[in-house]
Structure 1
Amino acid sequence: MEKTILPTKEMLDEALIRRHTRPVFDAMAAAHVGIAGLGGLGSNIAVMLTRLGVGHLVLADFDQVDLSNLNRQHYMLTHVGMDKTKALAQQLYQINPYIDLTLYKEKITAQNAPHIFKSCEIICEAFDDPDAKAALVNSILDQEPGKKLVAASGLAGYGSANDIKTHRVMKNLYLCGDNESGIEDGLCLMAPRAALCAAHQANMVLRLILGIDQP
């Protein structure tokens, strides 16, 4: 089998600079972004941010990859049984072996969230559970008012892709989704809408890194 030769960091950087321009590349490389939950939203957000050249990601999830995750989450059969943090890191290093990743295999709570994401200017909320979403949002807004939070609400089912939107809810809180459809309504989570909402979140992170605070 032919051995794969990794490009150098300088080669990867230069490829991104040609695509993004130097100012955008520098902003991405310096950014610290946290992702709370590595399921259908978080795993896809992480891949997109890595492709954008975000230099530092904090990834937090207590769970392991299960067969039921493969319908929408960015994992493969070979990842089943692995910690989601490790399985996702394995993929991200395949995209950019020089990215700085910090992994937390623990359940995120209102108490530990500020510590876990202390180095991050922007945090993506990527939970399925509404109570966990609310706890994270309230914790960050109360204890870390200077941080920007990109959350999600409403992405279940088979609704139109055009219903997924990004709204600025308040100064440092952005909400992506249709704000209606949820698993509590008996709707299932599917790959297209999960990826659509994740793309909205990743795009809002990109805009915030570049100093654009409007969706």
Structure 2
Amino acid sequence: MYDTIEDQLDELIRSEDPAVSHTADTLAASRRRICGETAMWRWGTWVFYPWSGRLVHVLPREEFQRVRTDRNRNKIDRAQQRALRARRVGVIGLSVGSSAAVTLAMEGVGGSFRLADFDTVGLSNLNRLRAGVADLGVSKAVLAARQMFEIDPYLDIEVFTDGLTEESIESFFGGTGTTLDLLVEECDTVWAKVVAREYARRRGIPVLMDTNDRGLLDVERFDLEPHRPLFHGRTGESTASDVATMDRGEQLSYLMTVVDEPRLSPAMRDAVGEIGRTLSSWPQLASGVMLGGALVADTARRILLGELIPSGRSYIDLDELIPAVGPQLDAELALVMEAVR
């Protein structure tokens, strides 16, 4: 059992009037004023997390949100924070997408989420996925939802553990009054990539995609351009039905067209020909995944707050922004420099 409600109340009191210098006595008086006749242990919400067996005492919803996002101000003001909390965000693919989903939850960008991934956490995912060995075998979508609930127990999260399928796609995108406001697409399945965009375009939902190479971020503003071609027109008029019949080689070629193979990083270009031979899958680094989560969350927040961010492709390439000034130091010189230090 975890009960820090007194400390949380003190944070609430200080956040409401930061100019006041409180003493232990004034804080105690303010706590009594807020709780009224209710005993402190009864005030607020007790949240039980069945996967960890933890019972946690937190502030009521509105007070919790004010304190939890207090350090967002004035980068995000309180009116904007309330507006963001009313938004629905969908995330397809919770390997790379988990970084985006958790960052969105941390920043308070979205109050309702739909998470779709058919896969479970494997040992090889731990090079980039925020998880531990005790999480092996857990659904990636479930794991992301758990992490988000532990940040904010008041979130509304729906999990699709079969991924995006023909049977679940209508529920995932939602109907009248429950339609997604923004989609983050981070899956590897070609059919899901295409059909998700077809649905998003039909319903006027903006789509964001980070590719975990050279900081590439795609923005497709189907909310502003209802007839915009998918993937910025790179794949022509091909549909989800077309890609569903492609063999593995054709699907790989399709993906290379989407990401613009000549503009991949040298390491990724070299890796493409080795997949299925010397490499089991795409190389992905934790640093790239975390960067992608930041790019998606920042762009999502700005779009949901009404900024006119256009469709297009951007690169936040750290090799270009922070370039090396020469070749790598050889091992002997590196040892000498270390000794000098």
- TM-score interval for Structure 1 and Structure 2 normalised by the shorter chain: 0.7 to 0.9
Is 2:177 aligned against 1:126?
no
Distance 1:127 1:86, change over 3 A: same
From 34, 38, 44, the counterpart of 2:99: 44
TM superposition shift of 1:155? 2.1
CA RMSD of aligned residues (A): 2.7
TM superposition shift of 1:46? 0.9
Report the residue type matching 2:128 in the other structure.
Answer: R
Higher Rg of the two aligned structures: 2
SS of the equivalent of 1:59 reads: strand
TM superposition shift of 1:112? 3.9
Distance 1:171 1:189, change over 3 A: same
From 60, 67, 81, the counterpart of 2:137: 81
Further displaced range: 121-130 or 27-36: 121-130
Is 2:154 aligned against 1:155?
no
Is the CA contact (8 Å cut-off) linking 2:209 and 2:218 kept in structure 1?
no
Is 2:215 aligned against 1:164?
yes
Distance 1:179 1:214, change over 3 A: farther
Query: TM-score, with normalisation over the residues of structure 1?
Result: 0.81
Question: Where in structure 1 are there 5+ consecutive unaligned residues?
Answer: 157-162
Is 2:62 aligned against 1:10?
yes
- C-alpha separation between the residues in 1 aligned to 2:149 and 2:291? 23
Distance 1:166 1:188, change over 3 A: closer
From 195, 204, 207, the counterpart of 2:290: 195
TM superposition shift of 1:35? 0.5
Query: TM-score, with normalisation over the residues of structure 2?
Result: 0.53
Distance 1:92 1:170, change over 3 A: closer
TM superposition shift of 1:139? 3.6
TM superposition shift of 1:167? 5.0
SS of the equivalent of 2:289 reads: helix
- Residue in structure 2 matched with residue 210 of structure 1 by the alignment: 305
Is the CA contact (8 Å cut-off) linking 1:67 and 1:77 kept in structure 2?
yes
TM superposition shift of 1:213? 2.8
Q: Percent identity?
A: 26
TM superposition shift of 1:168? 4.1
SS of the equivalent of 1:57 reads: strand
- C-alpha separation between the residues in 2 aligned to 1:57 and 1:86? 12
